Structure 1
Amino acid sequence: MKPRPSIYIDGLETFIDSELVYKPNSVFSEMEGYAKEKNIPIVTAATGAVLSHLVSFLVPTSILELGTGIGYSTLWMVQGSRSSKIITVDRHEEQAKLLDEYANKMGLEDQMDVTRVTDSVLEYLKDENLWREVDFFFVDCDKITYPSIFRTLWPKAKKGACFVFDNVLWHGRVLHPDPKKPSDMAVMELWNEVKSQVLEYTLFPVGDGLLFFRK
């Protein structure tokens, strides 16, 4: 995977994540190092902290995470609300099961309710019974699926359900999207869907852009 540029001036994002973000456990830094070494995309530390903060205020009963990665964002949400039941979906089993290892290192294995599901996100969403009563959705998977995910969830999610999409600034390419890149077009399509159907939304310009809205 090619390195993707930050939306910040050179060096600022690294400084924010290493010097300005409070990390409640040193294992987060270990996970960041592993992800960098293996070229695995994860949210930034600043993004994780905002996500944790949102969850701590909302205290959702149930969270559905679409895109586990190595469990970095999952564990930030656990830090925000250990009482929330989290289901996290990813098709990469070997990578996603690292979540269990890192949770053990943090001493959270007995203090969280997290279920990993190995499946493609769109396949999982075909069964509405699995998500119709979810309180909080966090979406950080293949960007080309974003419009389909929004069109699937938004009409049928329960009233009051919260949505958070990561990478909505798409490394700054929302400014000049390349029509030849499906991911660019998908992120722009998500924005068009949200702006035309959602009455209120909030963009948190941390990391690669975090979009929050509620039904």
Structure 2
Amino acid sequence: MKPRPSIYIPELESFIDSTLVYKPNSVFSEMENYAKEKNIPIVTAATGAVLSHLLSLLKPNQVLELGTGLGYSTLWMATGSPGSQFVTVDRHEAQAALLDEYAKKMGIWEQIHVKRVTASVMEYLEEQTEEWKNSDLFFVDCDKITYLDIFRILWRSANPGACFLFDNMLWHGRVLQPDPKKPSDLAVMALWDEVKSQVSHYTLYPVGDGLLFFQKDKK
């Protein structure tokens, strides 16, 4: 995986993640090093800390995460709200299984509640609606090309009051000049258009690669 540009000035993001972000467990740094070595995309440490903080305030009963990676964001969220139930979906079983090992290293394996599902995200959403539709919070960090379809499925079926988080909404700065030949650029911009037309209020956290938060209106 070739390096992707940061939205920050050179060296600032790495300084934030290595020096300024409070990490409640040293295993997070171990996971960051492993992800860099193996070219596994994960959220930044700063994004993880924001996720943890938001969940500590929202305290959702059930969280659906689309895109497990190696469990880095899952464990940040679980640290923020250890009482929540997490369902995390990814098609790469061997990679996602590292979540279990890292949770054990952290000493929180017995305290958190995580169900890993090995499946295509789109297939899971279409076939397992009864399992996920009552989730209180959705965190989406998977193939950007699927973002618009995912939004439409979740927005239609989620309960009023459900919260949503989408990562990579600044798409490495390419929202400034999206390349019409890149499907991922077009998909991110299409999601922005959909959110701005469908969602009454939203907040962009300019952390990492852009973390978008919004909520489905309560009836």
Q: In the aligned structure 1, how far is the partner of 2:133 from the partner of 2:9?
A: 41
Q: Which residue of 1 aligns with 2:200?
A: 199
Q: How many residues align?
A: 215
Q: In the aligned structure 1, how far is the partner of 2:134 from the partner of 2:176?
A: 36
Q: In the aligned structure 2, how far is the partner of 1:205 from the partner of 1:105?
A: 31
Q: Which residue of 1 aligns with 2:137?
A: 136
Q: Which residue of 1 aligns with 2:28?
A: 28
Q: In the aligned structure 1, how far is the partner of 2:40 from the partner of 2:14?
A: 17
Query: Amino acid of the residue matched to residue 171 of structure 1?
Result: H
> After TM superposition, which residue ranges in structure 1, 4 or more long, deviate above 6 angstroms?
none
TM-score (norm 1): 0.99
1:2 counterpart SS class = coil
1:154 counterpart SS class = helix
By how many angstroms is 1:46 displaced?
0.2
Query: Amino acid of the residue matched to residue 205 of structure 1?
Result: P
Q: In the aligned structure 2, how far is the partner of 1:98 from the partner of 1:80?
A: 20
By how many angstroms is 1:128 displaced?
1.7
Q: In the aligned structure 1, how far is the partner of 2:193 from the partner of 2:121?
A: 21
Q: Which residue of 1 aligns with 2:85?
A: 85
Query: Amino acid of the residue matched to residue 76 of structure 1?
Result: W
Q: Which residue of 2 aligns with 1:103?
A: 103
Q: Which residue of 1 aligns with 2:164?
A: 163
Q: Which residue of 1 aligns with 2:71?
A: 71
Q: In the aligned structure 1, how far is the partner of 2:108 from the partner of 2:115?
A: 13
Q: In the aligned structure 2, how far is the partner of 1:115 from the partner of 1:125?
A: 15
By how many angstroms is 1:144 displaced?
0.4
TM-score (norm 2): 0.97
Q: Which residue of 2 aligns with 1:123?
A: 123
Q: Deviations over 1:118-152 (max 9, x none)?
A: 00100000032121110000000000010000011
Query: Amino acid of the residue matched to residue 78 of structure 1?
Result: A
The answer on 1:211 being equivalent to 2:212 is yes
1:212 counterpart SS class = strand
Q: In the aligned structure 1, how far is the partner of 2:74 from the partner of 2:133?
A: 20
Q: Which runs of 5+ in 1 are unaligned?
A: none
2:94 counterpart SS class = helix
Q: Which runs of 5+ in 2 are unaligned?
A: none
- Alignment RMSD: 0.5
Q: Deviations over 1:139-189 (max 9, x none)?
A: 000000100000111012000000000000000000000000000000000
2:31 counterpart SS class = helix
Query: Amino acid of the residue matched to residue 37 of structure 2?
Result: E
Query: Amino acid of the residue matched to residue 213 of structure 1?
Result: F
The answer on 1:150 being equivalent to 2:143 is no
Q: Which residue of 2 aligns with 1:177?
A: 178
Q: In the aligned structure 1, how far is the partner of 2:33 from the partner of 2:78?
A: 20
Query: Amino acid of the residue matched to residue 72 of structure 1?
Result: Y
Q: Deviations over 1:6-60 (max 9, x none)?
A: 0000000000000100000000000000000000000000000000000000000
1:114 counterpart SS class = strand
Q: In the aligned structure 1, how far is the partner of 2:122 from the partner of 2:156?
A: 16
